[in-house]
A and B are shown apart, each in its own frame.
Chain A
Amino acid sequence: MRIIVILGRVLDPRGIVVNPRAGRIFVNREEYILQPADRCALEAALRIKEAVGAEVVVLPRTFLPDDDILRQALAVGADRAIYIMGKPVALPDDGLMARVLLAAIERLGGADLILTGATTLDTGQGQLGPRLAEALGWPQIVGAWTAEVADGSVRAVRQDGGNYVWVESPLPAVVTFAPGALKLRYPDGRRLINIYKGAGEIADALERWEAKDLVAPEALTPMLERRGQDFPPERERGVRLSGSLEEVARAAADALRARLPR
């Protein structure tokens, strides 16, 4: 059984400051972390591998300037990682990456399960998993909290309205994970050292492929184009609510409702 995990990285939001008045984003500390939802997908793959046995192959969700997150994935237990080299694009472009990843999956000889994050921390995009499912003609489970494989099918817990339900899909399938669903384990110290030193068997697990060898040049044209940035209005602090107790309570309740996460 082969499980493909698609991983991305994101600039740690704790290192950036957005100044709406200046219309600028200041990067105080440029540190990249694994996309939180993708981390959960990796952990789910490793748990399935431990439970039923599988080869876990890691692919990147964008063209990356370095292979650091793939090395991190190998350190926690992935068997193989493919660093796909291509021209980095201004914005994550899942339509473009779906073409590249499809070709990569074909070159790998297919898969039984594709796991990735249901959303990205920065852009909130969740289209990569469903796009791959559609291109491969596979079923999809979006926003899983946990998953297990048995008898040729994958079972997962998914949110349905305010409740959690078990759903089941035949394999092969695409499952995307909700951020925070599973906690990624710590890396094995010796594997980590060997991966970064390029020593031992695990050092050979990281392969480098060129995107231009996978798809035709016209397929590498981005689908999305970045046309600028916009900033929310500057925050007005210290606005006092006035009126009767009921009026103030109603105004405060409306303000809270409008800002609660959906």
Chain B
Amino acid sequence: MDASFLDLLMAQQEEVAEAEGGGGIWVVADVVDGAIAPVTLEAIGAARNLAGALGAYVYAVLLGDGVSDLAATLYQAGADGVRVADHPALASFAVEPYLEVLVNLFQAEGPEVILFGATPQGQELAPRVAQRLGGGLIEHATAMTLDEATRTVQAAVPIYGGEYFEIVASPQARPQVLTIEPGAFPVPFMDPYRKGEPKSIEVTPVEPRVRVLGPAEGFTPPSVPLAQAPVIVAAGRQAGDFGLVERLAAALGGRVAGDRGARDAGWIGPEQIIDIRGVTVAPKVYVAVGIRGDTFHNAAIENARFILAIHPDPTVPIFRVADLCVEADPKEILPALLHALGA
């Protein structure tokens, strides 16, 4: 049997047929730079897991201008049906035109669960859809299970950015609307043999009420104090080349700081010293470059969510508190790290 015949056979087997009777799990797709956003694929994968337990079909909704070809990706990710609203009025995201399409569709289809990505688009649309349809909304779901007795989705939502999670459900309200945290669910296997015929949605153009006037020339957001910075790259006496540290901070969108050694070297000001006698920090990411990690410094970073330490000496105390340790000379590893980060 030659491979092309096998391909044909598998392709025929995987032609997806849609169910009648409404309900189902619906995923509203995010399109970024002409491609389906990863969070949408993750949401379809999560929806497939729920669908198995729920005994429901997974549908995806695609909105935009010239987006019809992207429906194939949604089928490959696991959608059983795809609805496409392809219209010039939907070329760029605006609340009212998108909402009109979605509400009309969901009022006709009666979905049981609706998933959005926790993206700017999803965060604007999901509450309005939930409010219009009388549904409950759980935001930033990072895990989902099903209470099969009541067909209720239970989701874990991060508290204080992930310090712990509350398990939440909206058992009374239907539909159950959720936004999915990007990166929290795995991207599903993309089955190239999975295909289907998307259905078009008729679009009645609606004028958006919020107008974009143009770039905010000269506007700079207020600077965040070092103590509240989400990303910090700190240098120590062994950092070697402080220019590389600054480049790493720029590549990560972080702030530059250091320990007392960096201050002695003249690289940073006194207000940038991370130390319990200086600034105590709690960033999401803390990179310590050439910092030994004395008691005062390590106490000041104990609330950091993730610490990457780079130091040539394997016995330094910073390696006892860091999550990830790189035993290397910063002068050698930083150029390679910048390269790996695409900076």
Contacts and interface: CB of A to CB of B under 8 A. Distances in A.
Given A165-B212, A167-B211, A221-B172, A258 B183 contact: yes
Interface string A166-192: 111110000000001111000000000
B230 A261 contact: yes
Contacts of A228: 166-167
A262 interface: yes
A127 B173 contact: no
A211 B145 CA distance: 33
B115 to A, nearest CB: 15
A124 interface: yes
A235 B320 CA distance: 12
Interface stretch (A62-70, A107-115, A140-148, A201-209): A140-148
Interface size class of A (residues with CB under 8 A): 35 or more
A226 B136 contact: no
Contacts of A236: 323
Contacts of B326: 240-241, 248, 252
Interface stretch (A47-55, A80-88, A155-163): A155-163
Contacts of A20: 164
Interface string B138-155: 111001000000000010
Given A223-B172, A235-B323, A255-B324, A160 B212 contact: yes
A249 B333 contact: yes
B327 A240 contact: yes
Interface size class of B (residues with CB under 8 A): 35 or more
A131 B328 contact: no
Given A168-B213, A230-B167, A256 B285 contact: yes
A240 B164 contact: no
Nearest to A242: B327
B324 A13 contact: no
Contacts of B337: 249, 252-253
A130 B124 contact: yes
A224 B156 contact: no
Interface in B300-343: 305-306, 308, 314, 319-328, 332-333, 336-337, 339-341
Given A182-B222, A245-B328, A230 B321 contact: no
A29 interface: no
A238 interface: yes
B164 A231 contact: yes
A261 B222 contact: no
Interface stretch (B65-73, B125-133, B265-273): B125-133
A124 B340 contact: no
B95 A260 contact: no
A223 B131 CA distance: 11
A238 B319 contact: yes
Given A170-B209, A246-B336, A121 B160 contact: yes
B164 A180 contact: no
A229 B166 contact: yes
A159 B219 CA distance: 11
A31 to B, nearest CB: 15
23 contacts: A18-B163, A91-B168, A122-B159, A127-B126, A127-B127, A131-B130, A134-B127, A139-B209, A142-B123, A159-B120, A160-B212, A164-B216, A167-B213, A169-B209, A224-B138, A225-B171, A232-B162, A238-B319, A240-B319, A252-B326, A253-B337, A253-B340, A262-B183
Given A134-B127, A223-B170, A260-B253, 10 more contacts: A131-B137, A140-B95, A140-B124, A164-B221, A167-B213, A181-B221, A224-B168, A248-B326, A255-B306, A259-B305
Interface of B: 95-96, 120, 123-124, 126-128, 130-132, 136-140, 143, 154, 156-173, 182-183, 209-216, 219, 221-222, 224, 228, 230-231, 252-253, 284-285, 287, 305-306, 308, 314, 319-328, 332-333, 336-337, 339-341
Ranked 5 nearest A-B pairs via Cβ = A249-B336, A253-B340, A127-B127, A130-B127, A139-B209
